[in-house]
Chains A and B, each alone.
Chain A
Amino acid sequence: MRTELALSAKPLTAKDFKSDQETRWCPGCGDYAILAAVQGFMPELQVAKENIVFVSGIGCSSRFPYYMNTYGMHSIHGRAPAIATGLATSRRDLSVWVVTGDGDALSIGGNHLIHALRRNVNLKILLFNNRIYGLTKGQYSPTSEVGKITKSTPMGSLDAPFNPVSLALGAEASFVARTIDSDRKHLTEVLRQAAAHPGTALIEIYQNCNIFNDGAFDALKDKQQAEEAVIRLEHGKPIRFGADGARGVVRDPATGDLKVVDVTPGDEAGLLVHDAHAASPLTAIGLARLADPDTLHHTPIGVLRDVRRPVYDTQMAHQLDTAVEQKGKGDLAALLTGNDTWTVGSSS
């Protein structure tokens, strides 16, 4: 955590973070579970409520700031990362969080998302992925599986979906994680690690839209199926899953790709050990892409990548200090009326 953050004078509780607004999501929406987990986690930050900001774009998930008793902004479609970048850069005493969805972040906001990630601004981005447009009543989204039948694609969608974690890793993100709305313990642990990370953190949260895409993540939630479907990543540990850790992930020596194998007592040493701090993102990208986009089998959850690199707002503050030191305090009015100005008017 950054030393500039203003700490709360008294210990806070989850209740302190509940606002007086009536929560307007459909009954049963996964957003409620995420909201409860975030409100439950916030006291751990020990940051004063007045120094926490939630910025959202447009969509169901973007109603989030209303329900947090912090500062917040329900901003422009897809532009929450841009607004949050300005805020985090100019007000380093704030803890800045972005709440977005698969439509907001990956359709209209795709551009802003990737640039926030490559800049490594001190933002924590929560991307609620329900693989559908919920607010507009059920059209396919950039994360919907191929062939998705919706009102806007009655014969099935033709678009290949984004894998948000893989996309973020490709955009140079320094912290990338994936978690699930209903797994409060896991979600909270991922929030904890993201909050401690200096720079941009992207957390993809699989979120059930029980109205327009119900059961999209049942394979990962159902106790029977989840054992085979979910790979829980832990830094420094061999990647195993399934009943009694019967399955594991290895690197195929011929292709270099990652693959799932049955673990036998003799070959445990060959299992891939998860290294979230690896300098290269290649293995994390391989892990991100292990899941079958249709069945969701072999879906890794947890922190895929957590590496340190220069943080944008720290560097900018340093650059501004250096500029003042070398060139003196600037004069904005003089700059605006300086030499490089033109008078537009009749030339006759």
Chain B
Amino acid sequence: MTYVIAQPCVDLKDKACVDECPVDCIYEGPRKMYINPDECVDCGACEPVCPVEAIFYEDSLPDELSEYATVDREFFAADPSPGGASSVGVAEADHPVVRAEPVRAAG
């Protein structure tokens, strides 16, 4: 069980969470940020700083965002523990659920 980032982050990526995370486990995709479930230590620092309330504890996701329960975990399926987001650039592709979201204009 860990924290996950849901739909409100898509096309917004404020990244306030990245500054707060003490273990550098929030990685960047083209359209959304992703929490690595194996590196996350469940400290909850990210949740209150998210300006759009996109971060939830896995079992507290509202029903309308339930498809995001496994998105972050699946995003890291190929490399479960890359060892720190700051040493990894923006990922090449988002998770299919994110790719399927309609594009939101900035602002």
Chain A interface (Cβ < 8 Å from any Cβ of B)? 23, 25, 27-30, 32-33, 35-36, 181-182, 184-185, 208, 210, 223
Q: Which residues on A sit within 8 Å (CB–CB) of B48?
A: 27
Distance of A25 Cα from B24 Cα, bound (Å): 19
Residue from B22, B42, B44, B83 within 8 A of A208 (CB atoms)? B22
Interface residue total, chain B, C-beta cutoff 8 A: 15
> Does B43 lie within 8 Å of A32, measured CB to CB?
yes
Q: Which residues on A sit within 8 Å (CB–CB) of B41?
A: 32-33, 35-36
B24-45 interface code vs A (CB 8 A; 1 in, 0 out): 1000000000000001011111
> Does A28 lie within 8 Å of B22, measured CB to CB?
yes
Other A-B pairs, 4, CB within 8 Å; known A28-B44, A36-B41? A27-B47, A30-B22, A182-B22, A182-B24
> Does A28 lie within 8 Å of B86, measured CB to CB?
no
> Does A181 lie within 8 Å of B22, measured CB to CB?
yes
Chain B residue nearest to A207 (CB atoms) is B22
Chain A residue nearest to B84 (CB atoms) is A223
Cβ contacts A to B, 6 pairs, < 8 Å: A25-B43, A28-B20, A28-B44, A32-B43, A33-B22, A208-B22
Chain B residue nearest to A214 (CB atoms) is B22
Q: Which residues on A sit within 8 Å (CB–CB) of B24?
A: 182
How many contacting A-B pairs (Cβ < 8 A)? Answer: 38
Distance of A29 Cα from B20 Cα, bound (Å): 10
CB distance from B39 to the nearest CB of A (A): 8
CB distance from A53 to the nearest CB of B (A): 23
Q: Which residues on B sit within 8 Å (CB–CB) of A23?
A: 42
Distance of A5 Cα from B80 Cα, bound (Å): 33
Distance of A165 Cα from B42 Cα, bound (Å): 29
Chain B residue nearest to A223 (CB atoms) is B86
A36-B44 in contact given A28-B22, A208-B22, A210-B22 (Cβ < 8 Å): no
Chain A residue nearest to B43 (CB atoms) is A32
Distance of A184 Cα from B82 Cα, bound (Å): 13
CB distance from A230 to the nearest CB of B (A): 15
**Of A23, A27, A30, A182, which is in contact with the most chain B CB atoms at under 10 Å from its CB?**
A27
3 closest cross-chain pairs (CB), A and B: A28-B45, A32-B43, A27-B44
Distance of A27 Cα from B24 Cα, bound (Å): 15
Q: Which residues on A sit within 8 Å (CB–CB) of B43?
A: 25, 27-29, 32-33
B71-89 interface code vs A (CB 8 A; 1 in, 0 out): 0000000000001001100
Distance of A29 Cα from B43 Cα, bound (Å): 7
**Of B20, B39, B44, B87, which is in contact with the most chain A CB atoms at under 10 Å from its CB?**
B44
Residue from A25, A27, A182, A210 within 8 A of B23 (CB atoms)? A182
